[in-house]
Amino acid sequence: MTSFKEHATKAADGPEEPKGQVTDAAAASDSGKLTLAEILEIFTAGQLPLRFTAYDGSTSGPPDAQFGLDLKTPRGTTYLATGRGDLGLARAYISGDLEAEGVHPGDPYELLKALSGDLIFKLPSPRVMAQVFRSIGVEHLKPIAPPPLEVPPRWRRVASGLRHSKSRDAEAIHHHYDVSNTFYEWVLGSSMTYTCACYPRHDATLDEAQENKYRLVFEKLRLKPGDRLLDVGCGWGGMVRYAARRGVRALGVTLSHEQTSWAQQAIADEGLGELAEVRYGDYRDLTEGGFDAVSSIGLLEHIGVRNYPSYFEFLQSRLRPGGLLLNHCITRPDNQAKPSTRGFIDRYVFPDGELTGSGRIISEAQDVGFEVLHEENLRHHYALTLRDWCANLVEHWDEAVAEVGLPTAKVWGLYMAGSRLAFESGGIQLHQVLAVKPDGRGGDGDLPLRPWWTP
């Protein structure tokens, strides 16, 4: 099959184009209909790092490439042509119209890594773009219904309430966390912990790393037998049970019915009922106060940046003077980017999720009266965590597909592998912020002069 690069060069007058480059002039020199592979080469300037094949018989990229993409249906072309950013690619992949070759769908990390390397998408001239549109056909430029898993765009979600209202937050949490406890057991492992682990060694197991994360949070909060801990957004109760095993009275709250049911059963199975409780509900409805410590592990991403002041004010109101707060959440690497997510993550994974920089988080905590004592970035640990979650999904792929369906399983493989790349590159980070609620005289509960926990 003659590639577009070769085809355009032969048709153009003058010297041959440098190998691996496609210019607008070369593209415009051929007034015929472009193949799908030729169109892709226009947008990638002939630098596609993997093999591409399409249902129209065209191919592009190195013939001996380890990884590839196979566009199988015209519907896939419509998804790619009408989806903004990564949304079109995700739609085509999840629906089965675009297949990844050379990787397992439970962990397409290596293919995504190849795509994210030196690949640069270039917008061609208006003349060439018009030729691309003619070649694709007007029927593929009209949006069609997305895969059933996709939630509506944000402006259409008002039917379930304003963003970050209690009703809409409950619906967002239900979408992500009420997939299937059995599915989560296969992906997360025995710890049932869906937050960044902390690896004491590079060769540590996932369970070791999650236990070490809970140990780190416990020690940072200076918890001891008889203390009271509030864990907001408690997931399946991992932190609650860890604290209760050490004599701490721990209360967790979650908006997921599935998490609540699983955690309550785990508490009963371990005989921790006198010390541990996991409650279904919105953290904003809690009336108890006077806690010695509050842990928030993976909740702030769901709060909404504009709600940070009320969030930190509420947590502060639950603490006794001198009480400690540990906030653990995903962040952006700067404080300038808009605090919102779009595309694939928003429509398939975390509806209404919002991220911002650690500086913004620290400022908001300070502005309500918290004294920030320490913060650290664990992004490399999250990359390792996602690596291990993907490995679990691959190992249990057949069972996972039987449990939740192929499209959902593919969403999770794509989401976790892509997130691993983002943490490795620093595109997103994971920060723990430790703060204290001072008493009226500026006292901090007689904290030690230096950090009192083991890293």
Q: Is 203 exposed, middle or buried (0-12, 13-18, 19+ CB in 10 A)?
A: exposed
pLDDT of residue 15: 36
| pLDDT tens-digit series, residues 213-236 | 999 999 999 999 999 999 999 999
> What is d(CA 398, CA 369) in angstroms, rounded to the nearest whole number?
51
> What is d(CA 422, CA 283) in angstroms, rounded to the nearest whole number?
30
Mean pLDDT of 371-383: 98
The four Cα atoms 25, 50, 417, 150 give a dihedral, to 10 degrees, of 60
Over 80: is that where the pLDDT of 428 sits?
yes
> Do 244 and 233 contact (CB within 8 A), yes or no?
no
Helix, strand, coil % over all residues of the chain, rounded to 5? 45, 15, 40
> Do 384 and 199 contact (CB within 8 A), yes or no?
yes
Question: Tokens representing 115?
Answer: 């795509």
Which runs of E-coded beta strand occur in 97-164? 98-101
> What is d(CA 374, CA 118) in angstroms, rounded to the nearest whole number?
37
Query: In whole angstroms, how far apart are CA 259 and each of 68, 163, 180, 416?
Result: 38, 23, 9, 20
Question: Tokens representing 314?
Answer: 């509420």
| pLDDT tens-digit series, residues 55-76 | 999 999 999 999 999 999 999 9
> Do 330 and 303 contact (CB within 8 A), yes or no?
no
pLDDT of residue 120: 72
Over 90: is that where the pLDDT of 277 sits?
yes
pLDDT of residue 44: 87
With cut-offs at 50, 70 and 90, classify the pLDDT of residue 154: low
Which domains occur in the chain, in start order?
4-140 (no CATH), 166-436 (3.40.50.150)
The average confidence (pLDDT) of the chain is 88
Chain centroid, CA 244 distance in Å: 30
Question: Tokens representing 131?
Answer: 């030729």
Over 60: is that where the pLDDT of 16 sits?
no
In the chain, what is the greatest distance between 2 CA atoms, to the nearest angstrom? 84
> What is d(CA 204, CA 321) in angstroms, rounded to the nearest whole number?
38
| pLDDT tens-digit series, residues 296-315 | 999 999 998 999 999 999 99
With cut-offs at 50, 70 and 90, classify the pLDDT of residue 240: very high
